[in-house]
């Protein structure tokens, strides 16, 4: 798909680039646009014109708005294929992860709210018990989705979601893949302290180096 | 020989069968597993996608417990847990400040000694020494598997060494060869199944899985073999939707590597819980007269 022409934002380009580079730990300026990453990206057909190389281009040009909110940022599965093949060792998965976090900090509504709800529910459930409880997690995730769909009166989406998750749940139970035991970690206070520290770091925008 | 064992949340829930099989099969090979005490969730990709600190700190607590266990190595069958623990260990080794900050909150401090092993790394030496073939004597004739590794068995951040070939891994092929099975060549062994997208972005995941499924069928495979519980669950639970989406009526069972080894060891289906698949996994074994 043809990409729109990018405009170089001279005022903001450098600071944005520096922020993404230091937070993701990726040497974005080494990219020479060979597109090897794009050739192997499994979600390439789902993300319109935004391939890993073009996402990098957006960042280099300082197009903050587009870089923080596009399909690749939300559809990237962090499969690490692009980074494994990049001749300049640029791990785009780390860049999409960074951009997701930055867009959240800037209160930009996620392009894929279900993806955001999923990870939020996962980490909430893990915080609660120290281990992921699949039932609690799916419950939290569905509540968030349902609420959003009700709010927008999106009944079709509600219906489809209900059908697909019920189908999965029933099949899981039938095949004895569903387990109803609740496991709780004894050292839960340690986990809570780690979560607290994480929040402090998020709030103070502390950057952790070399996340590779 | 006793080694540490980190099952992770999935092996205690929807992939309990993998936990059961891992213990059965490794036990038979003389490897006793000591489950890590009071382990916690590694945060999986949810932490790595949304919180850089938790992505290291959650696995770190487990590493501290493992370091204090007195054991020298630990097996992690789940690919996601395996890769997250590798990353956490490596990040803390190269960043003293981060390590100190995390250790401050932990009762068992991370030293960084424990050797982290995938389930393949633990079994390959047993295949090479001939012990696996000795214990797994039933020939799995007629099985035409494609080995499906997915993402996290071999693709890590670039500074972490990969114990297999990144683009064309051979670990499962080596084990199957010891059982007298030749795995088929195919093009999608390390492609992504979509992982959590199956739940939160279903259309994308179905398209990703369709490509994988189509190639497996086109090559003439009669089953998948995998080590990753996420890949297993996705390719198994969503195969009907995937098959419908690409107009293929065949269904292929998706075995964990431990199931095939268990069968070759003569272990009963019920004990291995092979009857707990979404796509029937017992029928093919019966048809081929393997059970
Ligand atoms: S493979 Fe690397 S250098 Fe080539 S376009 Fe992609 S990110 Fe840039
Ligand atoms: S990590 Fe993301 S951007 Fe890179 S190949 Fe995988 S899906 Fe595409």
DSSP string, B64-111: HHHHHTT-SEEE--SHHHHHHHHHHHHHHHH-HHHHHHHHTT-SS---
A84, A135: one domain: no
Distance A38 CA to ligand 2 centre (A): 8
With respect to residue B123, please indicate whether it lies within any of the assigned structural domains.
no
Question: What's the number of domains chain A is made of?
Answer: 2
Average pLDDT over residues A103-108: 91
Residue nearest to atom 4 of ligand 1 (CA): A34
A178, A117: one domain: yes
With respect to residue B192, please indicate whether it lies within any of the assigned structural domains.
yes
Choose among B94, B192, B278: nearest Cβ to A171.
Answer: B278
B57 → chain A, closest CA residue: A194
With respect to residue A204, please indicate whether it lies within any of the assigned structural domains.
no
With respect to residue A88, please indicate whether it lies within any of the assigned structural domains.
yes
Q: Which residues contact A139 (CB under 8 A, 6 or more apart)?
A: none
CA-A35 nearest atom, ligand 1? 5
Higher confidence at residue B193 or residue A212?
A: B193
For chain A, give percent helix, strand, coil, nearest 5.
65, 0, 35
Cβ atoms B59, A191 nearer than 8 A:
no
Q: Please give the pLDDT value at position A149.
A: 61
A144, A89: one domain: no
pLDDT > 60? residue A211: no
Q: How far apart are CA A72 and CA A93, in angstroms?
A: 10
Cβ atoms B155, A82 nearer than 8 A:
no
Q: Please give the pLDDT value at position B85.
A: 96
Nearest bound ligand to CA A94? 2
Residue B54's CATH number = 1.20.1050.140
A47, A80: one domain: yes
Choose among A23, A100, A130: nearest Cβ to B50.
Answer: A100
Q: How far apart are CA A64 and CA B229, in angstroms?
A: 37
pLDDT > 90? residue A134: no
Q: Please say which residue of A49, A72, A105 terminates a domain.
A: A105
Choose among A130, A134, A208: nearest Cβ to B53.
Answer: A208
Note whether B197 contacts A194, CB cutoff 8 Å: no
With respect to residue B267, please indicate whether it lies within any of the assigned structural domains.
yes
B83, B56: one domain: yes
Residue A111 binned pLDDT confidence (cut-offs 50, 70, 90): confident
pLDDT > 90? residue A157: no
With respect to residue A157, please indicate whether it lies within any of the assigned structural domains.
yes
Which pTM does this prediction carry?
Answer: 0.92
Residue A91 binned pLDDT confidence (cut-offs 50, 70, 90): very high
With respect to residue A202, please indicate whether it lies within any of the assigned structural domains.
no
Q: Among A114-118, A172-176, B71-75, B119-123, whose mean pLDDT is lowest?
A: A172-176
With respect to residue B125, please indicate whether it lies within any of the assigned structural domains.
no
If DSSP codes are grouped into helix, strand and coil, which group holds residue B266?
coil
B76, B220: one domain: no
Note whether A197 contacts B52, CB cutoff 8 Å: no
Average pLDDT over residues B139-150: 96
B108, B155: one domain: no
Q: Please say which residue of B93, B118, B143 terminates a domain.
A: B118
pLDDT > 70? residue A212: no
Q: Please give the pLDDT value at position A159.
A: 65
Tell me, using a 6 A CB cutoff, whether residue A33 lines ligand 1: yes
Q: Please give the pLDDT value at position A117.
A: 82
Q: How far apart are CA A169 and CA A173, in angstroms?
A: 6
A121, A90: one domain: no
A120, A91: one domain: no
With respect to residue B124, please indicate whether it lies within any of the assigned structural domains.
no
User: What does the DSSP 8-state code read for residue B188?
Assistant: -
B108, B205: one domain: no
B248, B227: one domain: yes
Residue B82 with chain A: CB contacts under 8 Å:
none
Note whether A134 contacts B14, CB cutoff 8 Å: yes
Tell me, using a 6 A CB cutoff, whether residue A53 lines ligand 1: yes
Higher confidence at residue A156 or residue A197?
A: A197
Cβ atoms B4, B73 nearer than 8 A:
yes
Domain range enclosing A120: 113-197
Residue B136's CATH number = 3.40.50.11810
* Helices marked H in chain B: 8-11, 16-28, 44-50, 52-68, 79-94, 96-103, 119-128, 131-135, 171-178, 197-200, 202-218, 229-237, 239-245, 257-264, 269-272, 282-287
With respect to residue A208, please indicate whether it lies within any of the assigned structural domains.
no
pLDDT > 80? residue A145: no
Q: Please say which residue of B88, B118, B148 terminates a domain.
A: B118
Distance B159 CA to ligand 1 centre (A): 18
B107 → chain A, closest CA residue: A190
pLDDT in tens, A11-59: 888 999 999 999 999 999 999 999 999 999 999 999 999 999 999 999 9
Domain range enclosing B139: 131-287
B145, B54: one domain: no
Q: Please give the pLDDT value at position A161.
A: 65
Q: Please say which residue of A36, A71, A105 terminates a domain.
A: A105
Q: Please give the pLDDT value at position A11.
A: 82
Residue A200 C-beta-side C-alpha neighbours within 13 Å: 7
pLDDT in tens, B23-68: 999 999 999 999 999 999 999 888 888 899 999 999 999 999 999 9
Residue nearest to atom 8 of ligand 1 (CA): A31
B104, B136: one domain: no
Nearest to A41 by CA among A83, A2, A3, A4: A83
Averaged pLDDT score across all residues of chain A: 85
What are the backbone dihedrals phi and psi of residue A15, each rounded to the nearest 5 degrees, phi first?
Answer: -70, -40
Q: Taking a contact as any Cβ pair under 8 Å apart, which residues of chain B between 139 and 198 contact chain A?
A: 151, 155-160, 166-167, 190-192, 194-197
Taking the Cβ of residue A75 and every Cβ of chain B, the question of whether any pair is shorter than 8 Å is answered with: yes
With respect to residue B126, please indicate whether it lies within any of the assigned structural domains.
no
pLDDT in tens, B242-275: 999 999 999 999 999 999 999 999 999 999 999 9
pLDDT > 60? residue A86: yes
B108, B167: one domain: no
Cβ atoms B212, B191 nearer than 8 A:
yes
Tell me, using a 6 A CB cutoff, whether residue A36 lines ligand 1: yes
Q: Supply the ipTM of this predicted assembly.
A: 0.91
pLDDT > 60? residue A60: yes
Tell me, using a 6 A CB cutoff, whether residue A40 lines ligand 1: no
Kindly state the tokens that stand for B194: 């979509």
Residue B78 binned pLDDT confidence (cut-offs 50, 70, 90): very high
B141, B103: one domain: no
Provide the percentage of residues in chain A whose pLDDT is more than 90.
Answer: 50
If DSSP codes are grouped into helix, strand and coil, which group holds residue B116?
strand
Taking the Cβ of residue B44 and every Cβ of chain A, the question of whether any pair is shorter than 8 Å is answered with: yes
Note whether B44 contacts A122, CB cutoff 8 Å: yes
Residue A153 binned pLDDT confidence (cut-offs 50, 70, 90): low
B266, B164: one domain: yes
Taking the Cβ of residue A101 and every Cβ of chain B, the question of whether any pair is shorter than 8 Å is answered with: yes
pLDDT in tens, B208-244: 999 999 999 999 999 999 999 999 999 999 999 999 9
Distance from CA of A190 to the nearest CA of B (A): 6
pLDDT > 60? residue A196: yes
B254, B137: one domain: yes
Question: What's the number of domains chain B is made of?
Answer: 2
A121, A172: one domain: yes
B196, B113: one domain: no
Residue nearest to atom 2 of ligand 1 (CA): A86
Q: How far apart are CA B175 and CA B170, in angstroms?
A: 9
Q: Please say which residue of A88, A105, A122 terminates a domain.
A: A105
Averaged pLDDT score across all residues of chain B: 95
DSSP code per residue over B4-22: EE--HHHHTTTTHHHHHHH
With respect to residue A165, please indicate whether it lies within any of the assigned structural domains.
yes
Most confident range (mean pLDDT) of A95-104, A136-145, B42-51 is A95-104
Provide the percentage of residues in chain B whose pLDDT is more than 70.
Answer: 100
């Amino acid at each position: 798909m043809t990409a729109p022409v990018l405009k170089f934002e001279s005022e903001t380009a450098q600071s944005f680039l520096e922020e993404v580079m230091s937070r993701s730990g990726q040497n974005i300026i080494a990219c020479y646009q060979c597109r090897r990453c794009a050739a192997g990206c499994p979600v390439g057909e789902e993300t319109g014109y935004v391939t890993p190389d073009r996402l990098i281009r957006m960042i280099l040009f300082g197009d903050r708005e587009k870089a923080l909110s596009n399909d690749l940022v939300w559809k990237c599965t962090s499969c690490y294929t692009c980074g494994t093949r990049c001749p300049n060792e640029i791990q785009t998965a780390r860049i999409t992860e960074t951009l997701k976090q930055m867009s959240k900090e800037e209160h930009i509504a996620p392009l894929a709210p279900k993806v955001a709800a999923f990870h939020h529910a996962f980490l909430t459930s893990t915080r609660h018990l120290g281990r992921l409880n699949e039932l609690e997690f799916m419950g939290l995730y569905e509540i968030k989705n349902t609420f959003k769909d009700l709010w927008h009166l999106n009944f079709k989406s509600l219906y489809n979601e209900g059908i697909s998750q019920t189908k999965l749940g029933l099949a899981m139970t039938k095949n004895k893949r569903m387990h109803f035991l609740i496991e709780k970690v004894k050292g839960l206070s340690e986990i809570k302290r780690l979560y607290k520290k994480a929040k402090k770091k998020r709030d103070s925008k502390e950057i952790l180096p070399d996340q590779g | 020989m006793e080694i540490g064992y980190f099952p992770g949340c999935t092996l205690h829930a929807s992939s309990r069968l993998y936990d059961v099989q891992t213990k059965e099969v490794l036990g038979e090979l003389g490897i006793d597993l000591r489950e890590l005490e009071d382990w916690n969730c590694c945060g999986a990709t949810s932490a790595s996608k949304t919180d850089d600190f938790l992505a290291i700190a959650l696995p770190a607590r487990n590493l501290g417990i493992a370091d204090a266990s007195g054991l020298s190595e630990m097996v992690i069958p789940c690919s996601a847990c395996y890769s997250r623990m590798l990353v956490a260990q490596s990040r803390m080794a190269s960043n003293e400040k981060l390590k100190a900050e995390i250790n401050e909150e932990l009762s068992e401090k991370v030293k960084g000694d424990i050797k982290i092993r995938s389930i393949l790394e633990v079994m390959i030496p047993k295949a090479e020494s001939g012990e696996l073939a000795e214990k797994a004597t039933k020939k799995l004739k007629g099985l035409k598997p494609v080995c499906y590794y997915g993402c996290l068995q071999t693709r890590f951040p670039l500074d972490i060494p990969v114990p297999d070939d990144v683009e064309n891994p051979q670990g499962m092929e080596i084990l199957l060869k010891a059982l007298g099975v030749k795995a088929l060549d195919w093009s999608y062994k390390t492609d992504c199944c979509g992982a959590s997208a199956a739940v939160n972005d279903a259309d994308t995941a179905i398209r990703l899985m369709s490509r994988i499924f189509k190639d497996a069928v086109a090559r003439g495979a009669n089953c998948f073999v995998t080590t990753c519980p996420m890949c297993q669950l996705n390719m198994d639970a969503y195969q009907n939707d995937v098959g419908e989406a690409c107009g293929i009526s065949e269904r292929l069972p998706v075995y964990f590597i431990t199931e095939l080894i268990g069968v070759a060891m003569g272990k009963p289906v019920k004990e291995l819980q092979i009857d707990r698949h979404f796509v029937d996994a017992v029928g093919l074994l019966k048809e081929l007269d393997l059970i």
